[in-house]
A = this chain, B = another copy of it.
């Protein structure tokens, strides 16, 4: 399989991490989104929504959306529980991640650490900051009661939330105030086959 992604992107890191932990062979195809690589005619033919990551399952069959890719790859593996309610909990946290977490935490990191001109995004950062902390508060509350987000064991829900939480400090979020999150980050890092996020040549 081919995984089209951009180094440093948490969304792209999710399938990179899972495929590594599943011991799968895959080819990473690096795209520079800032240079428009996801808006070319060739790429839009594969994903009309113009986003990475994109998984090429076989030539002509592609799957976008990081969390849909995680689900597809994890089916039938220990990374996705079998119980109906636990599976719904995995999705609960993956939708939480894409709606309440990523748009407030990943975006701020992008403006500050990637674009390097936080001044021009000051108003947006001010809007996202409290929402990002609200998402971290929800995570902290959950992790004070359980070790993992679904089914009492490491699953793709943890991978989805780890992706941008472990680099939230790059967007100026103070993780020191979240002991349960920090313990969980450590548990995730200690999982067999864990690999760090590809960071490429980001300046």
Chain B residues with Cβ below 8 Å from A138 are 48-49
Contact B72 A142 (CB under 8 A): no
A33 on interface, CB distance cutoff 8 Å:
no
Complexed CA–CA distance, A103 and B104 (Å)? 12
Task: Please state if B67 and A88 are interface contacts (CB–CB under 8 Å).
Answer: no
* Chain A binding surface, main DSSP class: helix
CB-defined contacts of A57 to chain B, threshold 8 Å: 85
Q: Which of A70-92 contact B (CB under 8 A)?
A: 71-72, 75, 84-85, 87-89, 91-92
Docked complex: A50-82 residues within 8 A CB-CB of B: 57, 61, 63-69, 71-72, 75
Chain A residues near B (Cβ < 8 Å):
48-49, 57, 61, 63-69, 71-72, 75, 84-85, 87-89, 91-92, 94-96, 98-100, 102-103, 137-138, 141-142
Nearest residue, chain B, Cβ from A90: B68
A68 is contacted by which of B66, B88, B137 (Cβ under 8 Å)?
A: B88
Nearest 10 pairs of A and B residues by beta carbon = A72-B88, A68-B91, A65-B95, A68-B92, A65-B92, A98-B99, A48-B138, A49-B138, A48-B141, A68-B88
Instruction: Give the most central of A65, A71, A142: most B CB within 10 Å.
Output: A65
Copy tally for this chain in the complex stands at 2
A-B contact pairs, 28 of them (CB 8 A): A48-B137, A48-B141, A49-B96, A57-B85, A63-B85, A63-B88, A64-B96, A65-B91, A65-B96, A66-B95, A67-B91, A67-B95, A68-B89, A68-B91, A68-B94, A68-B95, A71-B88, A71-B91, A72-B84, A72-B91, A75-B84, A75-B87, A91-B91, A95-B95, A98-B99, A99-B99, A99-B102, A103-B103
Chain B residues, CB < 8 A from A48: 137-138, 141-142
| A72 contact set on B, CB distance < 8 A | 84-85, 87-88, 91
